[in-house]
Structure 1
Amino acid sequence: MTAPSPNTAASVRQRLLNLAREADEEYQLVLGRYVRERFLYRLAQSEHEGRFVLKGATLFVVWTGDPHRVTRDLDLLGYGDSDEAALLDLICDVCATPVPDDGVAFDAAGASAARIRGGQEYEGVRIRLTAHLGSAVVPLQVDVGFGDAVTPRPEYVTLPSLLDFDSPRVRAYPRETAIAEKLQAMVALGIANSRMKDYYDVWFLARTFTFNGETLARAFERTFERRQMHVPTDLPTALSPGFSQDGAKNRQWRAFLAKGRLNAPTLEPVVEHLVAFAYPPLQAVGNGEPFSMIWRPGGPWAHKRADVSSDPTGDKSK
């Protein structure tokens, strides 16, 4: 692979600095976004593209054109061998994929892989490596999970490029599975849950997009089944007033919003919105009942009309 031109790297750094200033964002966060974008471009151009599906907070840029909230990691669903050494070799091979000069050089020689154990979000492999953009050193963490169900099937999406380089086109999670996995984590963790980002993400998605109830319910069913967890019919602790009114949870929520400079209501109305959105299809799945409803941005659930599309992608333009 040809080394990046120092002139290209310097030009990219300056343009990213200008973007950070215009958007009032931390420069290091913008650098991280750019490095993740260029890694995904290499993945899309590599022979390993079919082994992975993009998931996680990076998808909000695809769905809304906006970063949504701060994330420093890249989340992927992997297919095939989950051995750490084999996956590390594969990721290093992706980093070495020849691409037009974008100023980024990945230090695959210093990369490491470790198993993500129970107690984390999911079991999988965590790859840590470093990227160089001229004199700038940018850490990159890639978390790869295995075995999760994706409903509906992954489709190709294009990640907008920060600059004028070619954009990555990769397979990605649908919103329904993203919500299903976050809801399953909420139910599993209960009052011990400190993952306020999940509450924020589901609240945001429910306010922004249309959802087909049948598709969302099927995503719930398949995710809980794959993770070997019973689907509750009673209101889960994670969606209860006991959670939303808990003092410690409210402090965690306020700290999460402040750290990310995010605008959202207090925790109690957010959880109430999640109950209105997620509990009806969840309860239907738990009772083995169909859920043929439609959710428009902000809700509530309504019966489908003859002129309402049941597009399972949740396209809010329909």
Structure 2
Amino acid sequence: MSSSQKRNLPASVRQRLLNLSDSKGIAFDLLLIRYAVERLLYRLTQSNHADRFLLKGAMLFAVWTPAAHRPTRDVDLLGFGSDDLDGMKRLFQELCEIPITDDGLLFDSGSVEVEQIREDARYGGLRVQLLAMLSNVKIPVQVDIGYGDVVTPGAETVQFPALLEFPAPTLRAYPVYTVVSEKFEAMVALGETNTRMKDFYDVWFLCEHFEFDKRILREAISGTFERRRNIVPKLENITAFSATFAEMKKPVWLAFLKRNALKSPELTVVINRIRQFIGPVLEANAVSSVAAKWTPQKGWGD
């Protein structure tokens, strides 16, 4: 690449992302964040720190489905090793300074800030915030890092899809079983105070698009509840699966869909589907009493 091409690359990338935003109907600011996260993950995979993290959260859905999932402005990771603030700041400053110039982005190592996550007292973790520059556009990047969660049946190696023609990050990530188990545990733990409609949407989406092995899902749920010091409930005792809850949270659900420009059935339909999916797994003799495979077309069956 000539020096002239390198100078023009950020503007070229910005225009291509703008074109992609128009063609896909995705807000440009969200697409910029998605691109910056992708390129930060790529830098992570080119460092000595890739084995310290697993990809999780909403960004993981970009790996699983070519269609746009619900929009998100941050990326979630599971961290291993020390959760020291200064150490994490140095790590991300190092990622920012990796000499990659062919994707048009400049990550500002001086902008890196790290703090404890305090709004979720049960889990905690670290929040990293930094700025990326694309031409004259500042892109805020937020990385939330959790610690200590159990991953069942184990981490998977995935390729995070590249928006443009640049090399895609290949990194370790949560399996779908752990995503379901953590979201289900949150539904149980929060009860009627729950406003996290994203968990209901995500679990509904996953059971409509993926096949599951009941034994593995049961192990994942048991492991997550044990790690989070919660008790796996009986189906009839789950507040979040009740008709009363569905009716009470209907305005919250509709606001969530509107805010994220999502199409979905009514919350009652979504919750009933999740009950069909989760319910048999919670039975005491689940392994022997119900067929072991879930398919979106047939539910639990042979």
TM-score bin (small chain) = over 0.9
CA distance, structure 1, for counterparts of residue 277 and residue 128 of structure 2: 35
CA distance, structure 1, for counterparts of residue 298 and residue 159 of structure 2: 28
- Residue 290 of structure 1 pairs with residue 291 of structure 2: no
Report the TM-score, using the length of structure 2 for normalisation.
Answer: 0.94
Instruction: Mark the CA change 1:186 to 1:251 in structure 2 (over 3 Å): closer, same or farther.
Output: same
Q: Which residue of 2 aligns with 1:267?
A: 267
Shift of 1:83: 1.3
CA distance, structure 2, for counterparts of residue 277 and residue 121 of structure 1: 26
| Secondary structure in structure 2 of the residue aligned to 1:20 | helix
Shift of 1:107: 1.2
Q: Number of matched residues?
A: 295
Q: Which residue of 2 aligns with 1:76?
A: 77
| Secondary structure in structure 2 of the residue aligned to 1:255 | helix
CA distance, structure 2, for counterparts of residue 85 and residue 299 of structure 1: 51
Two-structure CA RMSD over aligned residues (Å): 1.6
Q: Which residue of 2 aligns with 1:315?
A: none
Q: Which residue of 2 aligns with 1:52?
A: 53
Q: Which runs of 5+ in 1 are unaligned?
A: 305-318
- Residue 126 of structure 1 pairs with residue 127 of structure 2: yes
Bigger CA drift: 235-244 or 29-38?
A: 235-244
2:243 pairs with one of 241, 244, 259: 241
| Secondary structure in structure 1 of the residue aligned to 2:44 | helix
Q: How does 1:156-195 map to 2 (within 5 A)?
A: 156-195=157-196
Instruction: Mark the CA change 1:56 to 1:189 in structure 2 (over 3 Å): closer, same or farther.
Output: same
Q: Quick check: 1:60–1:68 contact (8 Å CA) kept in 2? A: yes
Identity of aligned residues (%): 45
CA distance, structure 2, for counterparts of residue 227 and residue 290 of structure 1: 23
Q: Which runs of 5+ in 2 are unaligned?
A: none
Runs of 4+ in 1 over 6 A off after TM superposition: none
Report the TM-score, using the length of structure 1 for normalisation.
Answer: 0.89
Q: Which residue of 2 aligns with 1:250?
A: 250
The structure with the largest helix share of the pair is 2
Q: How does 1:8-19 map to 2 (within 5 A)?
A: 8-19=9-20
Q: Quick check: 2:158–2:173 contact (8 Å CA) kept in 1? A: yes
Q: Which residue of 1 aligns with 2:88?
A: 87
List per-residue Cα deviations over 1:227-247 (Å, max 9, x = no partner).
11111124310111121121x
Shift of 1:86: 1.1
Instruction: Mark the CA change 1:289 to 1:112 in structure 2 (over 3 Å): closer, same or farther.
Output: same
Q: Quick check: 2:117–2:124 contact (8 Å CA) kept in 1? A: yes
- Residue 222 of structure 1 pairs with residue 210 of structure 2: no
CA distance, structure 1, for counterparts of residue 63 and residue 24 of structure 2: 18
Shift of 1:272: 0.5
| Secondary structure in structure 2 of the residue aligned to 1:301 | strand
Shift of 1:118: 5.7
